[in-house]
Amino acid sequence: MTILLVALGLLVAGGAAALLCRRSHRAANLIGAGSAAAACALGLVPAVTGLVGGGARLESAWSVPGGSLALAIDPLSAFFLVPLFGLCGLAAVYGAGYLSAAPGGRSPGPPWFHFSWLVAGMVVVVTARNAVLFLVAWEVMSLASYFLVTRDDEREDVREAGWTYLVATHFGNACLIALFALLGPRSLDFADFGPASHAGLLFVLALIGFGTKAGFMPLHVWLPEAHPAAPSHVSAVMSGVMIKMGIYGLLRTLTWLGPPPLWWGGLLIAAGAASGVVAVMFALAQRDLKRVLAYSSVENTSIIALGLGVGLVGLHAGTPGVAVLGLAGALLHVWTHALGKGLLFLGAGAVLHATGTRDLDRLGGLARRMPLTSATFLVGAAAIAGLPPLSGFFSEFLILYGAVQHAGLHSLAAMVALALMSGLAAAVFVRAFGGAFLGVARDDGVRGAHDPGAAMRVPMAILAPALLALGLSTPVLLPALAPVVEQIGGLPARRELDAATAPLAVVVLGSTIFLALVALIAGLRRSLLAGRTVGAAATWDCGYAHPAPRMQYTASSFAQPLTALFGPVLRTRLTGDAPRGLFPAAAAFATRTPDVVREAALRPLFDLVSGALHAMHRLQHGRLHLYVISIALTLVVLLLWRLS
Amino acid sequence: MSGYAGLLAALVLAPLLPGVINRTKSFFAGRRGPPLLQPYFDLAKLLRKGAVYSTTTTWLFRAGPVVGLAAMLVAAALAPFGGVSAPLAFAGDFLFFAGLLGVARFATMLAALDTGSSFEGMGASREAQFAALAEPAFLLGLTAVAWKTGGLSLSGMLGANSFATWSGAAAPLALVCVSLLVVFLAENARIPVDDPNTHLELTMIHEVMVLDHGGPDLALIQYAAALKLWVLGSLVVGIALPVRSLAHGWAFAASVAGMLGLCVIVGVVESCLARLRLTRVPQLLLGAGVLSLLALFIGLK
């Protein structure tokens, strides 16, 4: 616990020091990144010991009503702390390179301050054992990330993104305050929360409140706006771990609410299925690389929701095998997505840094110019697309394997959704990787691109092998998750997890054979070609002599058959001038796919609210003496009411 | 032990299948057609050649065929044949099987995009679309068989498949057979989804993705495609023919005969049907998915 407190202190102090160091940008950058990375390395120690069984607790009285200042590390907390510290530490190292090269000569002090506070806020969220402390940390986390999202606030789209994020996150917070108020009328300490009479209402409040942070559709609207706007290492942290705080909150709430009725699992599966399938469709239709990744994050939290849903359904049905597999798959996917999406956002940052654009239809051919970025991005893409032998396959395997063993409508819905999502996710990532890294550059600005400096390269080079290692070590890792699963499900999980390691071990064996065969066939191919003529020529183009880069199939064209198929959901807008006449002068064509929830539901709703509230505008007349009078009058009325 | 016989049969006999399909099509067209062993001759010839690579391509282009073949080889070790368990059988192996098909497809599509050719981009785009729609039909169909037979592995499912299973659950199993047959045709780029004999790049799917590969690379691709035809076909045959009721040698012979019969059916389909318009293919695949779902609903208690 002491080490955790030291890490927290280092984060808070280091962030403040970076903020105060206004003179030298270099020093601010070094202090901010160094303290954050060091704190995360320190924090990994209690996190890992907590996961293997060494819990810790700190409790002291404070003057805030409703309980004590309580922090603790139990298996569930430790499970979330490990990727939190791991990814944030790597993101800090990456950020040192990213922010030092930022144009405009702005001080990196404020972003480091907000970054450190964001990490500290998340650490306290995961370890807090008191509702007030939890909510304060939650707010620190939300505000710090808000300031990071709006760093480039001279751009209108960034201001809009920040505003959307602020509104969405406080909508979620309102539900959370209601949740905790209902949970603990007597005490706000987590230890005193227990099965309540209105558990259903509490579950829905938690699903909405935490689901807003986790990005379940239709509460996801902030996510595709905020993630692209933030600096890339912050996007990685937000997508990799911050949205997982919503999952953590949901899991923590489940430990208080008692045995789940069937409809909780059903609701999670319905929400996960709808949200995941629609999100992956939107990911296909985006041109902005970071927006693709943001929608894919919505899809992946939906996979976690599906796993949880299968787990809850299994709990209700009294089939511990299904319950444990669903929960373990969901948990494993938390780690997979933290590492994988963290890596992908770092890669997208390197692309943005090198080319100045995130538009997939302008990029291309980067695999030659950025070998390390492209190789690591490919690993991340394959992992998030759920391909063996990377870890994404193993988490989806566990969820599907659990669902197959439960012959019922709920598990059937989960399977349909997962099967559809995995095929579409593969299309999303082939398109994203192909658009950015393969073929030839489509734009002049892309031609001079190169891999970034060492500070940005090292975190990517660590995360990519980690995804393979996490996948291949799943059979070993899985039994270690037993305490976490037991805490959530309230059932002994060790035996079921041990049973599940047997098929996973064969998957690992098969994957190893696969990797060995790849090496073997590659060697065979090389020896066959040795000593023969190996020529070089232009790509086959039906005899056309001068293929130009702009004639390549773009990412938009790649997705067109699918986006056309899903047209009724996506509502892609086409604009442009078709060529006219025998000698057309100029022609243009553009597509845009704005978020359907934002455009069709929320914008009209907010217009309505703002119209209704317009009447209140008359009170904001700016005459100070009238304000003072109204305050005084209110006070007098309250006084009279209290006295009577 | 005999599980390895099935694997060996897959490795040796797989290239025979395209030969049988081609002979059937020649018969319908009134031609003599290429020899049955022509695919083996093609492979031998390609393996002796050099190669030409596009200047646009990177290591990914060269990795595509290698990864594709490795994935298919592992998948072949998962697919049971002749009524006995596969060498690598385990509970939930059909998910790994689908994953391996996904890896092979992923590698092929990336290799296609690596050339920067619009044609290959089109092929990859179509492949991505059809595979995404075929995957649910495939997984749900196998889940239906799992629920019917109580087996969680491919070997368990097909091993438990007997005349008794068929007489007890003929409707769902028949539905799954049809659904998997559609998936089999789509995944192997056969009519009515894709025409392997088309000569216009614009209309191809699988063939256009490998336009720029030649020599040993093309040999790897063709061998992997033959293996894919074999492993997916063996699942269809395994469900349609409940060979467990027969003695071992007979079961093996019946399964080989079933594979050849399946190829004749493919040849007949290709001789009698035209390829569907590309915009119609999703409907066919969704239809297959619906059949699988229907089989599952019949299985629900």
Residue-wise pLDDT tens digits, B38-93: 999 999 999 999 999 998 899 999 999 999 999 999 999 999 988 888 999 999 99
Could you list the residue range(s) of the whole structural domain that residue B214 is in? 2-299
SS3 label, residue B53:
strand
Spatial separation of the C-alpha atoms in residues B117 and B135, rounded to whole Å:
27
Does A107 score more than 90 pLDDT? no
| ipTM exceeding 0.90, yes/no | yes
CB contact under 8 Å between B50 and A540, yes or no, is no
CB contact under 8 Å between B143 and A404, yes or no, is yes
pLDDT in tens, A8-29: 999 999 999 988 887 788 888 8
Does A103 score more than 60 pLDDT? no
**Closest CA–CA distance from residue B281 to any residue of chain A (Å):** 11
Contacts of B31-39 with CB under 8 Å at 24 or more apart are B39/B15, B39/B222, B39/B226
Residues of chain A contacting B134 with CB distance shorter than 8 Å:
423
Q: What is the pLDDT of residue B93?
A: 92
Spatial separation of the C-alpha atoms in residues A338 and A58, rounded to whole Å:
28
**Closest CA–CA distance from residue A462 to any residue of chain B (Å):** 21
Q: How many CB atoms sit inside 10 A of residue A613's CB?
A: 9
**Closest CA–CA distance from residue B31 to any residue of chain A (Å):** 29
CB contact under 8 Å between B125 and A522, yes or no, is no
Does A478 score more than 80 pLDDT? yes
Spatial separation of the C-alpha atoms in residues B109 and A558, rounded to whole Å:
11
Q: Cis peptide leading into A547, omega within 30 of 0?
A: no
- Put simply, the chain B residues between 91 and 110 with a CB less than 8 A from any chain A CB are 91-93, 95-96, 99-100, 102-103, 105-106, 109-110
Spatial separation of the C-alpha atoms in residues A139 and A21, rounded to whole Å:
25
- CA distances to A630, A639, A644 from A636, rounded to whole Å, are 10, 5, 12
The arithmetic mean of pLDDT across residues A521-535, rounded, is 92
Nearest 5°: phi and psi at B53?
A: -115, 145
Bridge partner list, A576: A589
Q: A579 is written with which tokens?
A: 């060529």
- CA distances to A129, A513, B172 from A253, rounded to whole Å, are 12, 42, 41
Spatial separation of the C-alpha atoms in residues A599 and A2, rounded to whole Å:
49
Q: DSSP letter at A442? A: S
Domain ranges of chain A: 270-341+354-523
Q: Are A487 and A75 in contact (CB under 8 A)?
A: yes
Asked if B150 has any chain A CB less than 8 Å from its own CB, the reply is no
Residues of chain A contacting B65 with CB distance shorter than 8 Å:
525
**Closest CA–CA distance from residue B293 to any residue of chain A (Å):** 9
Q: B228 is written with which tokens?
A: 């894919």
**Closest CA–CA distance from residue A493 to any residue of chain B (Å):** 19
The arithmetic mean of pLDDT across residues A193-203, rounded, is 86
Does B1 score more than 60 pLDDT? no
Tell me which residue in A365, A510, A551 faces B96 most closely, judged by beta carbons.
A510
Q: A223 is written with which tokens?
A: 């996510």
Mutate to test the interface with A, among B95, B280, B281 (most CBs of A within 10 A): B95
Asked if B154 has any chain A CB less than 8 Å from its own CB, the reply is no
Q: What angle do CA A50, A54, A56 make, to 5 degrees?
A: 80
CB contact under 8 Å between B117 and A405, yes or no, is no
- Put simply, the chain B residues between 111 and 140 with a CB less than 8 A from any chain A CB are 113-122, 124-126, 128-129, 131-136, 138-140
The arithmetic mean of pLDDT across residues A329-351, rounded, is 96
The arithmetic mean of pLDDT across residues A101-119, rounded, is 82
* Nearest C-alpha neighbor of A407 from the set B242, B140, B285: B140
Tell me which residue in B50, B67, B212 faces A534 most closely, judged by beta carbons.
B50
**Closest CA–CA distance from residue B255 to any residue of chain A (Å):** 25
Q: What is the pLDDT of residue B301?
A: 55
Spatial separation of the C-alpha atoms in residues A76 and A245, rounded to whole Å:
12
CB contact under 8 Å between A553 and B118, yes or no, is yes
Residues of chain B contacting A385 with CB distance shorter than 8 Å:
102, 106
CB contact under 8 Å between B296 and A404, yes or no, is no
Asked if B50 has any chain A CB less than 8 Å from its own CB, the reply is yes
Spatial separation of the C-alpha atoms in residues A41 and A11, rounded to whole Å:
11
Tell me which residue in B106, B117, B129 faces A562 most closely, judged by beta carbons.
B129
Does A156 score more than 60 pLDDT? yes
Dihedral of alpha carbons A109, A115, A118, A124, sign: negative
The arithmetic mean of pLDDT across residues A575-587, rounded, is 84
